[in-house]
Amino acid sequence: MKKRKERIDRGIKVRSEDIFALTSWREMLYLSAPRLIPAIVFLVLPLVLEPYWQRVLLSVAIFALLAISWDILAQSGMVSLGQALFFGVGAYCSGIMNHYFGISPFFAIPAAAIAGGVICTVLLLPVLRLRGVYFAMVTLIIPLMIERVIEATKIFGGTEGISGLSVIPSKWLELYILMAALLAALFGFRRLMDSDYGLVLKGIKDNDRSVMNAGINIYWFKIEALFIASAVGAFAGAMMTHVYRFVGMPVFALDYSILPIAAVMVGGSGSFAGAVLGAFILVPLSEALRALGGLRIVFYGVFLVIFVVGLPEGIFHFISRKYQQFERWAEVEK
């Protein structure tokens, strides 16, 4: 007797796609829990953690934003191997504005996010028309080249970087701004991608000829997606600059390009929740592994490979499936 695994949507999931007819507190809880839990966690964590782990939480938030930025591009069909570009440009923009022009972080950070978005989008415009592979290659090498250019020409502080930048007045403010930004990004972009606008973007990834055939200028949409993603990345960079009161060459380092991708690979692309989940897993893990020194990066590499090859859908989708469906073994009918 042959058996097969049967997956059936839970009743509430089937209904919640269409009509909202909730019949019990249990059902309401089922639906709201996945949304409330992250919100509560993000808002409460800063209060319960000790200072060292608060720092880690900061890092998590920053990498989560970078991961979300990556996922936006990935869902639109653009694969970025250089989140560090957005991050670094944002970081330097804010650092420069603060150091050379004395602008306060409250203005510098948002300004850097926008400026970073504009600069990166303009920089990458030429490759948007080409096969995805070019976008990937160019985003990979430009930050690395910039790193070396800064090292060689010593502009903007060269290898020393720019230090002594203004700080955000309160430690709590830092953390909660990031938490708020993270929540806003997570839920906001989720809504965006679920909307018809997001559908167009996903369509561009799936079959761009078909979208073009609908009279839609796909390049303009790609530009918009790129701007949004790079602005988010730039924001993360700008925040980092003022949290650490320093910006230097390392902001263009590979770490900032790879870790977000690893986070999304682990957590799962397509839902932003996966990106955040991945960051929540990888960043503390990497902190815990700090003792291993250089071996850490070796782990990333191996980890990355295992997840990309073994669990391509990512953890979030795996969990989501279990939550939304129940599985059972059924007989194969003759």
Binding site for other proteins (CB under 8 A): 74, 79, 81, 123, 126-127, 129-134, 136-138, 140-142, 144-146, 148-149, 152-154, 196-197, 199-200, 202-203, 206-218, 254, 258, 261, 265, 293-295, 297-298, 300-305, 308-309, 312
- Closest approach, Cβ 124 to other proteins, in A, equals 9
- Closest approach, Cβ 199 to other proteins, in A, equals 5
Residue whose CB is less far from other proteins, 50 or 196: 196
Residue whose CB is less far from other proteins, 163 or 207: 207
- Closest approach, Cβ 46 to other proteins, in A, equals 32
- Closest approach, Cβ 241 to other proteins, in A, equals 23
Residue whose CB is less far from other proteins, 164 or 215: 215
| Torsion sign over Cα 195, 200, 204, 210 | positive
Residue whose CB is less far from other proteins, 57 or 128: 128
Residue whose CB is less far from other proteins, 24 or 213: 213
Query: Which pairs count as long-range contacts for 128-134, CB under 8 Å and 24+ apart, including other chains?
Result: 128/78, 128/219, 128/222, 128/223, 128/226, 129/219, 132/77, 132/78, 132/79
Buried-exposed string 65-104: b where 16+ CB fall within 10 A, e elsewhere: bbbbbbbbbbbbbbbbbbbbbbbbbbbbbbbbbbbeeebe
- Closest approach, Cβ 13 to other proteins, in A, equals 15
Residue whose CB is less far from other proteins, 46 or 268: 268
CA 153 to chain centre: 31
Residue whose CB is less far from other proteins, 46 or 157: 157
- Closest approach, Cβ 214 to other proteins, in A, equals 4
CA 56 to chain centre: 17
Residue whose CB is less far from other proteins, 46 or 198: 198
- Closest approach, Cβ 34 to other proteins, in A, equals 21
Judge contact between 94 and 112, C-beta under 8 A. yes
SS3 111: helix
Residue 91: how many CA atoms within 13 Å on its side-chain side?
29
- Closest approach, Cβ 309 to other proteins, in A, equals 5
SS3 245: coil
Residue 162: how many CA atoms within 13 Å on its side-chain side?
20
Alpha helix stretches (DSSP H) within the chain: 11-18, 25-48, 51-75, 83-101, 105-124, 132-153, 171-194, 196-206, 208-212, 218-244, 254-267, 273-288, 295-310, 314-324
Angle, CA 150 vertex, CA 243 and CA 235 arms, to 5°: 35
